[in-house]
Amino acid sequence: DDTVVLSDLAKRMGVKGNELIKRLMEMGMMVTLNQSIDYETAELLASEYQFEVEKAAFEEETIFQSEEDAPEQLRPRPPVVTIMGHVDHGKTSLLDVIRHSKITEKEAGGITQHIGAYRVPYENGDIIFLDTPGHEAFTAMRARGAKVTDLVILVVAADDGVMPQTIEAIDHSKAAGVPIIVAINKIDKPGADLDKIKRELAEKDLVPEEWGGDTICVPVSAKQETGLDELLEMVLLQSEVLELKANPSKLARGFIVESKLETGRGPVATVLISEGTLHTGEPVVSGIYYGKIRAMFDDMGKAVKEAGPSYPVEIIGLSGVPMAGDELMAVADEKDAKQVSEHRMEKQRSKDLSKTTRMSLESLYEKM
């Protein structure tokens, strides 16, 4: 796993790069200046010049100390609820009536194409909702949604039933060990058949409570705005059972749920905070990038100065666009953030390079 870039080794020893390349060739290795060689090879080369190679393994762990939280540091946090289900079954519509918003109207072709994260004040606290696309092309997003969530609301249209992406959502939720609450939507429609839907759910091991199973099914209509209170009550009940807690008073960690490059603003990422509190001005690392939080915005686009456990925030200030699913970590010192980022980039670069070398060798063999 330990490697060194050949040009670095040459520089450190004050030897011409070409000399090392030639020496490696004599040893039967074709390596260019920008490529990495393994530790043993580096040691061998260095010894010929009376140098010793010392492993200065960079340990991320020294920067990200993960001390266990003491019980008294833990505070209740809002539940993170992901809405999943087959395309067009009414996920976004349901969220719209819960939030009194009109996201559905703004979506191109009425299809959700990203994970949206929203805060909904309800009774004594907040509930955080993640909206996911039901289109078959978005498997990865459904998997990601299930991973960062405490509860899943599985939306099934009463006039359509359990469909391929319903099943996929069930699988993702089960794989992530997340409890499912079923919202049987569109019960206002003429073709709605509750019993048929429950039968199909039971076939997928989601046996409704009223049939002796333990799956809560709430009939709702996003259009007529019925059943919503029951649904939210069930969400609260289920989250109480989970006793969700986190330590808000330490450096934040979270997950990128979506990210993009915006003209004028640069890299923009929506982060779901899992623990600690993120503040503006703090240095962070995410994936291979780092930066200082220049500004943060809540789900309504309002600028905020901090975000605690479970809350989604949009952040700007990163050096690049991290990948959705990447972890984001706040660090005490910007130098540390930069070091981690550079180290990760280096690692990725040598991985990419070894991939291309292997590939070009393979194509060489094919020609022989």
Q: Which does 277 bind (CB under 5 to 8 A by kind): ligand GTP, Mg ion, none?
A: none
Q: Which does 144 bind (CB under 5 to 8 A by kind): Mg ion, ligand GTP, none?
A: none
Considering CB under 6 A, how many residues would be counted as binding ligand GTP? 22
Among 77, 86, 89, 91, binds Mg ion (CB under 5 A): 91
Only one of the segments 13-21, 64-72, 87-95, 352-360 lies at the binding site for ligand GTP (rule: CB under 6 A); that segment is: 87-95
Q: Is 87 annotated as a binding residue?
A: yes
Taking the complex as a whole, the smallest distance from the CB of residue 256 to ligand GTP amounts, in Å, to 20
Q: Which of residues 146-205 bind ligand GTP (CB under 6 A)?
A: 185-186, 188-189
Taking the complex as a whole, the smallest distance from the CB of residue 268 to Mg ion amounts, in Å, to 21
172 belongs to the binding site for Mg ion (CB under 5 A) = no
185 belongs to the binding site for Mg ion (CB under 5 A) = no
Is 340 in contact with 289 (CB distance < 8 Å)?
Answer: no
Between helices 39-48 and 17-26, what is the axis angle to 10°? 110
Residue 33 or 111 having the CB closest to ligand GTP: 111
Considering CB under 5 A, how many residues would be counted as binding Mg ion? 3
Among 35, 41, 82, 93, binds ligand GTP (CB under 6 A): 93
Three state DSSP letters for 178-236: CCEEEEEECCCCCCCCHHHHHHHHHHCCCCEHHHCCCEEEEECECCCCECHHHHHHHHH
Is 80 in contact with 149 (CB distance < 8 Å)?
Answer: yes
Residue 141 or 181 having the CB closest to Mg ion: 141
Buried b (16+ CB within 10 A) or exposed e, 55-74: eeeeeeeebbeeeeeeeeeb
Residue 186 or 253 having the CB closest to ligand GTP: 186
Q: Is 187 annotated as a binding residue?
A: yes
Among 36, 82, 92, 341, binds Mg ion (CB under 5 A): 92
Residue 134 or 287 having the CB closest to ligand GTP: 134
Only one of the segments 91-99, 243-251, 254-262, 297-305 lies at the binding site for Mg ion (rule: CB under 5 A); that segment is: 91-99
Q: Which of residues 96-125 bind Mg ion (CB under 5 A)?
A: 112
Q: Which does 116 bind (CB under 5 to 8 A by kind): ligand GTP, Mg ion, none?
A: none
Residue 73 or 104 having the CB closest to Mg ion: 104
Q: Is 279 annotated as a binding residue?
A: no
Query: CA dihedral defined by 88, 300, 173, 154, rounded to 10 degrees?
Result: -40
Retrieve residue 217's tokens: 């099914």
Q: Is 325 annotated as a binding residue?
A: no
Taking the complex as a whole, the smallest distance from the CB of residue 103 to ligand GTP amounts, in Å, to 9
Residue 85 or 208 having the CB closest to ligand GTP: 85
Q: How far is CA 86 from CA 112, 265, 269, in A?
A: 11, 34, 26
Taking the complex as a whole, the smallest distance from the CB of residue 284 to Mg ion amounts, in Å, to 30
Q: Is 131 annotated as a binding residue?
A: yes
Q: Which residues bind ligand GTP (CB under 6 A)?
A: 85, 87-93, 104, 110-112, 133-135, 185-186, 188-189, 221-223
Binding site for GTP, residues?
A: 85-92, 131-135, 185-188
